[in-house]
Structure 1
Amino acid sequence: MQKTTKGVEMLLGDPKKAIIKLAIPMMIAMFVQTLYNLADGIWVAGLGPEALAAIGMFFPIFMIIISFAAGIGIGVNAVISQKIGQGNKRAADETAKTAIYLVIILSIILTVISILSIKPALKLMGAKDEVLKLSLDYSNNVLYFIIVFMFSNVGNAILRGEGDAKRAMYAISIGSILNIFLDPLFIYTFKFGVKGAAYATVISAAVGCFLIYYWFFIKKSTYLSINLLDFRIDFSVLRDILKIGVPASFAQISMSVAIFVLNSFATRAGGQLGVAIFTSAWRVINLGTIPMIGASTAVTSVVGAAFGAKDAKKLETAHLFAIRFGVFIGICIMAIILLFSKQIAFIFTYSERGKIIFTDLVKALMILSLFLPGTPFGMFTSAMFQGIGHGGKSLAITIFRTIIMQVFFCWLLVNVFQIGLSGVWWGIVIGNLTNAVVAFTWSRVVIHKLKIQFSQNSP
């Protein structure tokens, strides 16, 4: 008799309950990860705005690298949930194994490329003098451990694909909490400065990575059985992963490229201090977007299982329920940011040198908080498209928001209307709201077509 787990049973059950039960652990994990990001920024801020800008310069580059793992993770999450929906465990096992092989090979390639190109990339973004030196100090101590970050990312996706969001939460949360405590130790106690932040990040990620390895290959307590000693690769499974994963990777990269460009707009409008403001404000906005990212992984899993079972009604219910859930989260966090913008800004400007950006940071937080309520329409529609294997549609939505709408409106407001840093913040908000309308409309059309297709194919 084929084994099952509570996670698999939940994945195949009530879509609303599945969304909540899968989303909440990942939202907690992402919230803890966001707290780590905030804490990391706070500790680094104590070194001065140059150090904060240095981390901000490296962040979009690092996210481009991690985007490849994130894309593979999205692909494997969707395909595993589809196979489970079909009742095909063997194919789900093959999907997990293939994804791990793929991420190992990709990690080696990206490590070599990134080490050789990091300095020119930072210079291209506008880093120079002390900011360039500090950014290199940080990045050169992170890039040699790309495989740790990539394996953790894909391992978590495998767990989510089989409905085991709790263990995915444990791996992310334990590493993030550890990082919060290691940051001050390495930065100030051991006096490593920016390098200390890098050491803390790598060690914490390695702990989460080991947990996933333990569950998969030592304890062997997951629903899926992964045998890496069997070097045979099912290329049909690889094709399924890449069909979703490659567009998802490009979608992730497009977001990092957009941050890269937005950093440039911030630099043009406010100098290197503009980057420090943008970096700090965006960390706070991630309190809203990152919990939604956690919920979006639930959408991909539940929709994928429904699609595999050819249940269009369940698919639609999961998508609409998730959007309502996400809008509620966005409004709540927006209200908190608006009410406490000065207190939040003070956290990033408590040092004597940091006070110079306080007023501009408060303004950035208040404007960018308006970004949050419209985010679920695009984000969860993109996750829905990934769940049904329409990776190209998911990519199109992301590019429309990041590369086209946000960049266009930022360019218009900064270069044409010349309203300074506020133009960057309003450009991001207006671009996101435009995308929300387009994405949701498109989702309704696609789901309607799936209803017709499944009803025609039913016996």
Structure 2
Amino acid sequence: NAFITAQGKAKTGMMTVLIGALINTVLDPVFIFKFGMGVKGAALATVISQAVSCAWVIFFLCGKKSVLRLCLKNLSIKTSLVFPCLALGSATFIMQASESVLSVCFNSSLLKYGGDIAVGAMTILTSVMQFALLPLQGIGQGAQPVSSYNYGAGNAPRVRKTFSLLLASCVLFSFVLWIVLMTRPQSFAFIFTSDAELVDFTAKALRLYGAALVLMGVQVACQMTFVSIGNTKCSIIVAVVRKFVLLIPLIFIVPLFTADRTSGVYLAEPVADLIAVTFTAILFAVQFKKALRPLEKKTDAS
């Protein structure tokens, strides 16, 4: 799907996601309830929907409408191409993989201090944060081809303009979502449960956990642009610092300094985000200027 989007076929790329989501949505109740397959039915529906999406992508990439066509002669593995791709993707991999580690750390601490209701609330908070961050990542991924193309072409002004637009879009989205989160946290909780006690607990926890969500637009915009200009090292650094260097230790440290230790666990997230975004913004300001300086010198020379 990334190769489809890179060709400027955003609608086709969106169809890939929609086809899989719609098929999964339709097949889930059919397999789970009508055929009585339960969890197996849900798994089967997911596999079928993924297979159809995969077939859609392959059909398009092998067809005449694709600029970058799949050809057997081009499928040989070349280390000179594969390793840089792996390096650029490692930051995103770290972000995704770290979620499992964070889940264990959060749940173990919450179970110790708050019991089952705190763990249940954390499950809802994680889903809400995914709802918040996935659109931000989508905006960032949409800007990446534009930034990368113009960076490779030596067009520094266009790279700056693209980042400015990306930053403004991400900050605006995160700000609007943060306002809704702070004013109507119960609305998010009701999506996942009707238990009054859990809804009330989750609403309070959501305000703590998402207190720094307004800053995440800056974090995502900077990290995505690092990848766009090929700065693998900085992209990995900001991903590791936020999750492993800051958040995981803070999950266990912050509760020791709060009267309500359960609230302290939730507060670890905004504390880590505040420090991480500050670090990322400073690093990006230095590295972005450094990366564009050679392009600007070439422009001035010509």
- Alignment TM-score, normalising by the size of structure 2: 0.89
TM-aligned CA distance change 1:256 to 1:167, over 3 Å: farther
Match of 2:145 in 1: 301
Match of 1:364 in 2: 205
Partner Cα separation in structure 2 for residue 248 and residue 346 of structure 1: 31
Match of 2:230 in 1: 389
Match of 1:188 in 2: 33
Partner Cα separation in structure 1 for residue 125 and residue 28 of structure 2: 20
Are 1:288 and 2:150 counterparts?
no
Deviations 1:277-312 (A, max 9, x none): 211122123222111010110232221112111222
TM-aligned CA distance change 1:313 to 1:230, over 3 Å: closer
Match of 1:332 in 2: 176
Partner-residue secondary structure (3-state), 2:178: helix
Q: Which stretch has the larger CA shift, 260-269 or 286-295? A: 260-269
Partner Cα separation in structure 1 for residue 74 and residue 298 of structure 2: 37
TM-aligned CA distance change 1:441 to 1:269, over 3 Å: same
TM-aligned CA distance change 1:199 to 1:408, over 3 Å: same
Are 1:208 and 2:49 counterparts?
no
TM-aligned CA distance change 1:296 to 1:422, over 3 Å: same
Partner Cα separation in structure 1 for residue 284 and residue 147 of structure 2: 13
Higher relative contact order structure (alpha carbons within 8 Å, sequence separation ≥ 6): 1
Partner-residue secondary structure (3-state), 1:389: coil
Q: CA deviation at 1:207?
A: 2.0
TM-aligned CA distance change 1:270 to 1:195, over 3 Å: farther
Partner Cα separation in structure 1 for residue 97 and residue 260 of structure 2: 28
Amino acid in structure 1 at the alignment position of 2:198: I
Amino acid in structure 2 at the alignment position of 1:269: Y
Partner Cα separation in structure 1 for residue 209 and residue 12 of structure 2: 33
Match of 2:161 in 1: 317
Q: CA deviation at 1:433?
A: 1.9
Are 1:253 and 2:84 counterparts?
no
Partner Cα separation in structure 2 for residue 256 and residue 283 of structure 1: 13
119, 123, 126: which one aligns with 1:279: 123
TM-aligned CA distance change 1:416 to 1:196, over 3 Å: farther
Q: CA deviation at 1:271?
A: 3.4
Q: Which stretch has the larger CA shift, 328-337 or 414-423? A: 414-423
Q: Percent same amino acid at aligned positions?
A: 25
Partner Cα separation in structure 2 for residue 304 and residue 182 of structure 1: 39
Partner Cα separation in structure 1 for residue 208 and residue 29 of structure 2: 31
Partner-residue secondary structure (3-state), 1:191: coil
Amino acid in structure 2 at the alignment position of 1:241: C
Deviations 1:33-79 (A, max 9, x none): xxxxxxxxxxxxxxxxxxxxxxxxxxxxxxxxxxxxxxxxxxxxxxx
Deviations 1:113-164 (A, max 9, x none): xxxxxxxxxxxxxxxxxxxxxxxxxxxxxxxxxxxxxxxxxxx111222222
Partner Cα separation in structure 1 for residue 66 and residue 271 of structure 2: 43
Partner Cα separation in structure 2 for residue 317 and residue 202 of structure 1: 41
Q: CA deviation at 1:272?
A: 4.2
Match of 1:342 in 2: 186
Partner Cα separation in structure 1 for residue 183 and residue 36 of structure 2: 36
Q: Which stretch has the larger CA shift, 416-425 or 305-314? A: 416-425
Match of 2:80 in 1: 236
Match of 2:9 in 1: 164
420, 435, 444: which one aligns with 2:285: 444
Match of 1:149 in 2: none
Deviations 1:429-449 (A, max 9, x none): 121122111111211111211
Partner-residue secondary structure (3-state), 1:226: coil
Equivalent residues of 2:91, 2:239 under 8 A apart: no
19, 22, 40: which one aligns with 1:174: 19
Match of 1:45 in 2: none
Report the RMSD for the aligned CA atoms in angstroms.
2.3
Q: Which stretch has the larger CA shift, 187-196 or 447-456? A: 187-196
Amino acid in structure 2 at the alignment position of 1:171: T
TM-aligned CA distance change 1:339 to 1:231, over 3 Å: closer
Partner Cα separation in structure 1 for residue 175 and residue 90 of structure 2: 32
Partner Cα separation in structure 2 for residue 268 and residue 306 of structure 1: 51
Are 1:403 and 2:244 counterparts?
yes
* Unaligned 5+ runs, structure 2: none
Partner Cα separation in structure 2 for residue 207 and residue 215 of structure 1: 12
Partner Cα separation in structure 1 for residue 140 and residue 151 of structure 2: 16
Equivalent residues of 2:106, 2:265 under 8 A apart: yes
TM-aligned CA distance change 1:449 to 1:230, over 3 Å: closer
Deviations 1:261-281 (A, max 9, x none): 223333333334433221112
Match of 1:82 in 2: none
Q: CA deviation at 1:416?
A: 4.9
- Alignment TM-score, normalising by the size of structure 1: 0.60
Match of 2:218 in 1: 377
Equivalent residues of 1:407, 1:428 under 8 A apart: no
Equivalent residues of 2:32, 2:42 under 8 A apart: yes
Partner-residue secondary structure (3-state), 1:373: helix
Deviations 1:17-42 (A, max 9, x none): xxxxxxxxxxxxxxxxxxxxxxxxxx
238, 263, 272: which one aligns with 1:431: 272
Equivalent residues of 2:173, 2:217 under 8 A apart: no
